[in-house]
Every structure is written in C-alpha cells, then in structure tokens.
Amino acid sequence: MLVSFRALSRGAAAASLCALTACSQPAPPPPAIELLITNARIIDGTGAPAREGGVAVSGGRITDVFDPAAATAAASRATRVIDAKGRVVAPGFIDMHSHSDMPLVTDGRAHSKIRQGVTTEVIGESGSIAPQAAATETQPWTDFAGYFGLLEKQGIAVNLISYVGLGTAREMVIGNDNRPPTADELKKMQDLVTASMQQGAAGVSTGLIYPPNAFATLDELVALSTPAAAMGGRYASHLRHDGKKLRDGIGEAIAIGERAKIPVHVFHVKVTGQANFGRMKEVVELVEAARGRGVKVTADIYPYIASSTSLTATLPQWVMDGGADRMVERLSDRATRARVRRDMEDPDAEWDNRYQSAGTWANVQLAAIGRTRGVATTDDSPNRRYEGMRVADAAKAAGKDPFDFVFDLLVATRGSVACVYFIMSEDDVKLALTQPWVAIGSDGSALSIEGPLRSGVPHPRNFGTFPRVLGKYVREEKVIPLEDAVRKMTSLPADTLQLPDRGTIAAGKWADLVIFNPAEVRDTATFENPFSYPQGIDTVVVNGTVVLDEGTHTGAKPGKVLRHATAQPGH
C-alpha cells in the first residue's frame, strides 16, 4: 500500500510539473488569413436577417465568420483586407439555367456572368454540349470527360455543372426523325445517360418544344430518366407546354418525377400568351400539390416578360421532322408554305406555338441571324441588318409579307435565327418570384461587351438577370425581401443541386462570395442595347480568388467543374 501511494505521489508530482510547464509555454499564434472582408453586412444565403461582421478566407474556403470587433482584430494577420464599407456580402450566385456551354470555351472569363455576381453556372438544356459522334475543330471532344477536361486545361472564371440533354441522346441514336425508338435504341440512349453521369453530369434535361426532343413520349422520358435517378441525379425540363396547355406541361414533368422516382426541376417557369395571363396560380397549385405528395419539384425564373429562342419555334413540329435539310425543302415549296402558315395561325394547335404566344409579328424581335452561340464568326450575311428589329418592321423594310419574310429567312440560314418573344405578364412573373421553391436562372450565356462574344442583339438577361431581381423586384417594387432574393440565388439552388459546401456563408464552405451595394445595384442592359454590364456589384470571389475587384475583372479563372457525386475516378 505504501509503494502504491508513493507511486501515485510521484505520478501526481509529474503531472503537476507537466501542467506548470505547459502553462508557461506561449499560446500558438492564430493562423494567417489570405483574404479578409471587413465592415460587411452579411447576408448568409439561408434567408436569415443580415448581420454585421467580416468573413475570413484561406485555402479557397471560408475559415471564419466574425463579429465586427473580431474582424477588426483579425485584420493584422490578413494578407489582403477588403473593406466592404457597409455593403452586402453574400454567397456567390448560382445560375440555375445557363447556355454558356460554348461561350466558356471561347472565353473562360465569363464577363457577363461574373459581373452579375454569378460564381456557378448550370448548363446542358436538352441539347447538351456532349456527347457527340465525333470531335470537330470548334468542339474537340466527344464526351463530358473531354469537354470538362478542356475547360479545366483552359481555365474558367466560374464553377460549372452540366446536365446531359435527352435531345442530344436522341439525336445521337435516332437522328431527327419523328418516331419512337426501338428497344435497342432505347437501351443505347440509356447507356449514353449512364456514361454521362459517370463522367460527372448532374442528371438529364429536356427541351420539349425543340425537335428531336419534342418527338419523345412520356414513356421514353421516364425510361431515360430512370438511370439518372438510380445514380442520384435529377430531371430538369423546358416544358412541352407553357401556354394554353400549361397544365399538361407541368403535369408531364411531375409524372416523370413520380414514375422515375427522380427530383424534378422546371426551367424558366412561365405562362405564355396574352389569353393565358393570370394562370401562374394554376402552375403554383399543381406544383404545391405534387410537393405535398412528396414529389421533389423546384423551378427557376428570369425576371423579364420576354423569352428568347429560335425562330423555328414558330413552326409546326412536322416541318422539323428529319432535320434542317427537310425543313429547308419544305419551306422552299409554295404549297407547303401555305400549309405551314395555316398551322401557325391555328389558335387550337396541339403544339406550343411561339407565334400564337406572341399574337403578332410585332412582338417578335430578331436577335441573331446566322450565328452560332458562343462561336466566333466572320460571316457578314446581309440579313443581319434586321437584327434588333421586330419581324413586322423587318418584313416591311424587305417589302415582304411577314410570313414569307420568316420563311425566306429560315431557308437562307437553315433555321439559324434567334428571337426575343414578348409573351408574358408582369403579374405572373411576380407571383412566381414569391414562391419559396423558385430560384433564379438567366437562361442566358456568359457574353462580353467586346470581342467574339459580342454579336447580334440578344436578350438582356445575359447581362442583367441577377441585378434586375435585386434592383427592380427587391428594392424598387418590394416583391420579395432582400434576404429571400439572396436565398433564391444561393442556398436554394445549392440544395437543389446537392452542393452542401456552397450556397451559404459559414466556416468550411467554399469561398464563393459577392459584394454588392443594395441601394445601387441595378441592371443596365435593355432589349435595344443588351451589351451593358450592371451597376452596384463590385467584387466577386470564386473559390477564394478575387475575380472581380471593385469592378475590374482580374483575369483570374479559378472556377471548377463540379462533377456529380456519381462520377467515376478518372473522369
């Protein structure tokens, strides 16, 4: 017993000595900070009220979120300090619907998106950038592995996510014919979906007003969504109907979600055609009912009453059966033209008719004629003098009937004409904006006010979507609160896209950040002059690197390809 007591005493003494020695050692210095934002009004993306403080960044991630006093104290150990001067610091915005597939190959700096505060883009609607049958000079890849690898080699300013388009899969296997797939063809399309998901695609997408995707039935879409569902992906869709038959359009997307057991996302939710104005409440009711049944349904919206798509969207779909060559052949025949016009003027047509949505050629503006989105071109077609004009005015200037003008233009360009369609109501846009499951998406591309990515007279959403929400619909019209608008641009899309380490400001998250002045932020791009950067968005950080520095693009390209979790090693 005496031995045990003495041993215990010696142990206690040693412990006391160690404790005293430890206490005498100086505490390790706090870690250095690569970037510190101080004097900020932090809106963290969750929808919570703004709070004052600072944000510390190191190694590409947020390391601390400080109160004002702690932020001031931390300044001495920061390599760089950005004084927000009371401006808002928010998570970087996530563009839920983008067409930057090729523009990012042409110029990875993503000017028009970075300057809106966008730090992540989602591409791949219906006609995705991959897969493709063979590599070309402008598209030197055949699959997503090749495309993603090229972007990583060249560098991009924004993070990137892509769907695999079911229109692309159909064209790869069946071509442009309007017919159902054989069992073997369906299996080949499913294999393309699986391979694309293994290479990092986030799910499948459709554009159901665009042939050949428009030729797909509900059963086909369910069959092609099922392998994506099994791999944790989602189904995203430009609906088949958003006008007179809008209930059918929403219903089809929900049915795919229920049957394939896959989350559903609706691109640019909208109601088109003056006769349908006010029917957004029906869309809301259908989505809310589906969500109440446990179907995961979300959507995005752009804050404009005009859409933009091809001039071919005014044609009956049978004209596009077989592809561009067959379209040109049909529109070159006078008798067939008469039939096409009759179908276009039929208000009870089964297909979603963008001419009927517009109601008149005066509501259709020519945006780009004979141009390929995101690809530099030296072609100076004489028809380009009509870019920026309404079809009615352009036809008058050409001395032609508007329908003949349209048919001649489509023949001359093989269908390569983009238009802006004024077809929606402000009240419907506002109602959609207030829904908690509706995020923000531009449906636009990463363009520039100079260089090869300045061409035509495109929709201003390419330059103004996010600042327009913050300026017009938050500050001026008070449709939604600022904190909720930020949530719709950050944590809501991050949750939808399964990005747990982005979309909010918290320690450990990737440092995608935007600094903006809520009293000054606004869009400046218009339908007449779309090539204009917004005001009030000053600084943008992507993965911890400053890309927009007090209004100046640094040229940095720290963006990452965000492959889906099912991507296999090596892809």
**Domain 169-266+269-301+433-438 falls in which CATH fold?**
TIM Barrel (3.20.20)
Averaged pLDDT, 213-234: 98
pLDDT for 511 beyond 90? yes
* 570 or 21: which leads in pLDDT: 570
With b meaning 16 or more CB within 10 Å and e meaning fewer, what string describes 277-300? bebbeebbebbeebbeeebbbbbb
Residue 39 dihedral angles phi and psi, to the nearest 5°: 55, 45
Confidence label for 108 from pLDDT (cuts 50, 70 and 90): very high
DSSP state for residue 344 in the 8-state scheme: H
Query: What are 152-203's pLDDT values in tens digits?
Result: 999 999 999 999 999 999 999 999 999 999 999 999 999 999 999 999 999 9
pLDDT of residue 24: 59
Residue whose C-alpha is closest to residue 93's, from 327, 324, 397, 300: 300
pLDDT for the residue numbered 19: 46
> Edge to edge, what strands does the sheet with 417-422 contain?
306-310, 417-422, 364-369
Q: What is the DSSP letter of 319?
A: G
The contacts of residue 241 (CB under 8 Å, 6+ apart) are 247, 248, 249, 252, 352
Closest CA to 358 of 420, 298, 297: 420
Determine the pLDDT at residue 517.
Answer: 98
Task: Name the percent of the chain lying above pLDDT 70.
Answer: 94
Given this model, what pLDDT does residue 10 score? Answer: 46
Predicted local confidence at residue 570, as pLDDT? 63
Q: Which amino acid is at 172?
A: M
Lowest-confidence segment of 8-17, 29-38, 376-385, 395-404 by average pLDDT: 8-17
- CB atoms < 10 A from the CB of 130, how many? 25
Place of tokens 């945006």: 367
- Residue 129's CB: how many other CB atoms inside 10 A? 26
Identify the burial level of 181 via C-beta atoms within 10 angstroms of its C-beta, where 0-12 means exposed, 13-18 middle and 19 or more buried.
buried
Identity at 135, one-letter amino acid code:
A
pLDDT in the model for residue 501: 98
Residue 8 has what pLDDT? 40
Yes or no: say if 470 and 482 are a contact pair by the CB < 8 Å rule.
yes
For residue 350, name the pLDDT band (cuts at 50, 70, 90): confident
Rounded CA separation 410/557 (Å): 38
Q: What are phi and psi of 475, to 5 degrees?
A: -75, -50
Q: Is the pLDDT of residue 452 over 90?
A: yes
**What integer pLDDT is reported at residue 314 of this predicted model?**
97
Q: Is the pTM of this model over 0.85?
A: yes
Q: In which residue ranges of the chain is CATH 3.20.20.140 found? A: 169-266+269-301+433-438
Whether the predicted pLDDT of 9 surpasses 60: no
Tell me what the pLDDT averaged over the chain comes to. 94
- Residue 567: the pLDDT is 75
Q: Are 218 and 252 in contact (CB under 8 A)?
A: yes
Backbone angles phi, psi at 393, to 5 degrees: -70, -40
- The residue-averaged pLDDT of 271-298 equals 98
- Give me the pLDDT at residue 28, please: 81
DSSP 3-state of 543: coil
* Angle at which helices 246-260 and 218-230 cross, to 10°: 40
- Give the SS3 label for residue 554: coil
Within 179-279, residue ranges assigned H as helices are 183-198, 218-230, 246-260
Whole-number Å distance between alpha carbons of 302 and 286: 20
Instruction: Specify the pLDDT at position 540.
Output: 99
Q: Please provide the size of the chain in residues.
A: 571
Location of structure tokens 């099994």: 230
- Structure-model confidence comparison of residues 3 and 354, the more confident one: 354
Distance between CA 162 and CA 104 in Å, rounded? 13
| Interacting residues of 376 by C-beta distance below 8 A, sequence separation 6+ | 106, 452
Q: Strand, coil or helix: what is 322? A: coil
